[in-house]
Structure formats: C-alpha cells, structure tokens
Amino acid sequence: MPEEIKRELLAIADALDEVLRWEQELAGEGFPAVSVPELRRKSAETPAPPEAARPQPEAARPRPEAARPRPEAARPLPEAARPLPEAARPLPEAARPRPEVPASPEAARDLPDAPRPPLAAAFPPLNVLQDQAAACTACGLHVGRTTSVFARGKVQTDLVFVGEGPGYHEDQEGQPFVGPAGQLLDKMIAAMGYGRDDVYICNVVKCRPPENRTPLPAEAEACSPFLRGQLAHVRPRAIVALGKCATESLGCMTPGQKRWRGVWSKYEGVPVMPTYHPAFLLRSPQFKRDVWEDLQLVMGMLGKGPAEGGR
C-alpha cells in the first residue's frame, strides 16, 4: 500500500480514536447516535423568541456604519488602542444588533451572512491589535497581568471559540486555554473533527481577572474593541460562545435570561452557539452531554462530522 494512503488511514484512525475517547468520557458506555433529522427536530422544538427579539427585516437591522449612533467620547477605549477608527468602538446598547434565533441549524446556515469586511478594514491588523493589548491599561485588569493573552489558532478558519478570560496558566504562558480547561477544550475540538490549531480561540478580556473571577461588565466593555477586531478579521462561519460571559459580550443574551445555551443566535451576521465553559465542565462533568449536543449542532451547520449521520 502506498505510504501516503497509509498515512491518511492512520490520521483517520487517530481522529476516530479521539472521538471515541471523548464519547467514553461523556457517558462511559458510548454516546447515543444523534442524526441530523433528529437534531433539526430538536431545534424546531425550540420555543420561538419573544416578539422583540425576533430577527428584524433586513431594512430595519442596524447598519454597521451610517445608521449607528456614534458613541463619541463616552466609551472607554484601551489607551494603547487609541485612536481606534469609529467602527471599531463599542456600540451603545441600543445600536447593537439584536440576537437572532433561527429555528434550526439549517435555518442558521440559510440566514444571509453579513457582508464581509469593510468591517475588518476599520480595525488595525491583528498583530497591531495584539501589540496594543499587550500595552493596554484601559481597565484595572492590567495591574495583575503577567502577560496579556490575545489568541491562538488559525485566522483563516470556519470556527471561532470565545471564552471568558485568561486563567493562571494562560497568564503565565500568554496563550488562551492551555490549562486543564484548555485540554478539555482541545478534546472537544478534536471530537468535532478539527485539529487543535484549525480553529481560532480567544477571550472576552485579554488580562487575567484576579482569582479567576468572571470579568466585570465594565472590563468586558473596555476590552471589546479587541474582540470586535479579532472577529472582524477572522470572520468565521460560526462562533461557539463558551459560558455566559462570552454569550453576553457577543450580545447573544440579556442579563438574567434563563435559557441561553444550545440556542442559535447571531453576532454581526455570524451564527453563534452558546454553550458551557470547559472550566464549568471540569467541576460539573454531568453537563458534558449538553455541550456535545450543542457542538453537534455546530458541526451540522458547518456540514461536518458525525452530526451529519449520527454514529
């Protein structure tokens, strides 16, 4: 057998092995097969969003440029990031795009994408944003950081994971998701059929909150130009929001909203799937199954992996 085919077969065997290990962790006795029709049926059972949260007609949606009120001097921008172009600044609450909740993964795929940059052009290049974050003092989190943590992974990718903020290991190494939660995230990514570095991973805030607490809304707001810039440049086909903080920061839930995970939403036209944070799963592994179902919805939407046909 030619060497090249042997290598491919070995790579496929490795990937299957990773999926099986992940599934064994989930249930001990394997994972129930979930087919796309079943996932679509489940999604179709998702209660319709309240009238006010439903997608607005195209003409009524907030426009990136002309229609948005300018926040002018009111919003704190990271000092090192000044002056950011207008479009890069956080939008006032009222001007943010409303979350959209498609009825099914298919519906999420069929919703029109927001036009690709101009938006990216409104931000400095990623390497410049990273340098600005490293020197940023726009919120109090800079005081305790060893190093700012910008992102890891591939910029040309279909899939972005957005977490909350760096923890101890990330702060030390300058890379997001490298501690135990990161190792669990790597398993989730592998089970989805992606290599560890095939996706783009970043956080809401770039500096470690003390005691690994959740970033305060003001800190998330101060750091938002960096996240907005990252997502504008990467422009994935889907975003997985890891935890409530990321989901809220992407404008995909309102504070106090009860049902938030497993429900499609959108950020600037890009479908967002909110799910639990891997750090939460380390403490509460019984919720791994929920996360796996959410990730399968993403895989189905991207036309990838076991979700297309079940196991």
Binding residues for ligand SF4, per CB under 6 A?
A: 78, 133, 136-139, 141-142, 148, 205-207, 219, 222-223
- Pinpoint the alpha helices (H) of 126-243: 126-135, 168-173, 180-191, 217-234
Q: Which amino acid is at 25?
A: E
Closest approach of ligand SF4 to the CB of residue 219, in Å: 6
Give per-residue burial for 206-236: e unless 16+ CB within 10 Å, then b. Answer: bbbbeebebbeeebbbbbbbbbbbbbbbbbb
DSSP letter (8 states) at residue 221: H
For ligand SF4, which is the closer residue by CB, 39 or 141? 141
Closest approach of ligand SF4 to the CB of residue 68, in Å: 21
Closest approach of ligand SF4 to the CB of residue 207, in Å: 3
For ligand SF4, which is the closer residue by CB, 101 or 231? 231
- Asked if residue 298 lies in contact with residue 159, where contact means CB atoms within 8 angstroms, the answer is yes
Closest approach of ligand SF4 to the CB of residue 175, in Å: 15
For ligand SF4, which is the closer residue by CB, 148 or 249? 148
For ligand SF4, which is the closer residue by CB, 206 or 261? 206
For ligand SF4, which is the closer residue by CB, 104 or 148? 148
Nearest to 203 by CA among 241, 253, 168: 241
Closest approach of ligand SF4 to the CB of residue 65, in Å: 24
Residue 86 contacts by C-beta under 8 Å, 6 or more apart in sequence? 70, 122
